[in-house]
Copies of this chain bind each other. A is one copy, B any other.
Amino acid sequence: MKFYYAPGTISVATGLLLQEAGLDHTPVALSFADGDQTKPDYLALNPKGRVPALVTDQGILTETGAIAEYIGSLAPDKNLVPADPWQAAQMRSVCYYLASTMHVNHAHGPRGIRWADSDAALADMKAKMPRTMADSCTFIEENCTFAPFVMGQEMTIADPWLFAICCWLETDNVDVDHFPRIKAHRAMMAARPSAAAIRAYGLLTKDFA
């Protein structure tokens, strides 16, 4: 498989999961600064112009949630997706919250142009974003088990995903000290061999250990 990523983005979640699952893959870096994600070669793979993209023998996947579940299916012994339907549903509640609420809240800082055009509107979005991200942190802090993982004693696909988003909290002007369980989770994830592996090739750019 080929794994297209950009440093420090949500593709951190996919990179960690590929390591945790122990799957052979070739990481391919895109530079957002150079606009690689909007060049024709990449748009042919991923018309959304975003990362991640996972190119498999069966085809291409471009949504973190779909990629994560697929990686889970390729490494069933790792239990990255709970076998029990209720446990899986609770995990997916977290994943969908991360995708459709928390990540979206963050995006209104750096990527407000997706939803409004005027400089004033973009400034308003940027100004509100630290509050909406802190609200999301409060929700996660209060509604995940952190025992020590999001769903309990075993890592699931929700853990690398939450970690990837929480790498942004300092630049999002959220005071992480207000969220001690998230902070501890982030440090735990950052200390895993999977994090060292993606740091080694430049996907993970921070160190929370």
Residues of A within 8 A of B (CB): 47-48, 56, 58-59, 61-67, 69-70, 73-74, 85-86, 88-93, 95-97, 99-100, 103-105, 108, 114-118, 120-121, 124-125, 127-129, 132, 139, 143
Given the interface pairs A86-B58, A93-B63, A96-B63, the reply to whether A115 lies near B118 with Cβ below 8 Å is no
Indicate if the CB atoms of A120 and B120 lie closer than 8 Å.
Answer: yes
**Minimal Cβ-Cβ distance residue in B for A103:** B100
**Contact across chains for A92 and B69 when beta carbons are under 8 A apart:** yes
Q: Which of B59, B89, B127, B129 contacts A61 (CB 8 A)?
A: B89
Q: Are A89 and B115 in contact (CB under 8 A)?
A: no
Chain B residue numbers with a CB within 8 Å of A121 are 116, 118, 120-121, 124-125
- Nearest Cβ distance between residue A120 and chain B, in whole angstroms? 6
Greatest chain B CB density within 10 A among A47, A86, A103 is at A86
Q: Name the B residues within 8 Å of A127 (CB-CB).
A: 117
User: A98: shortest Cβ distance to chain B, in Å?
Assistant: 9
In angstroms, Cα B124 to Cα A128, docked, is 16
Bound CA span A65–B74, Å: 21
In the assembled complex, which residues on chain B have CB atoms less than 8 Å from the CB atom of A132?
Answer: 114-115
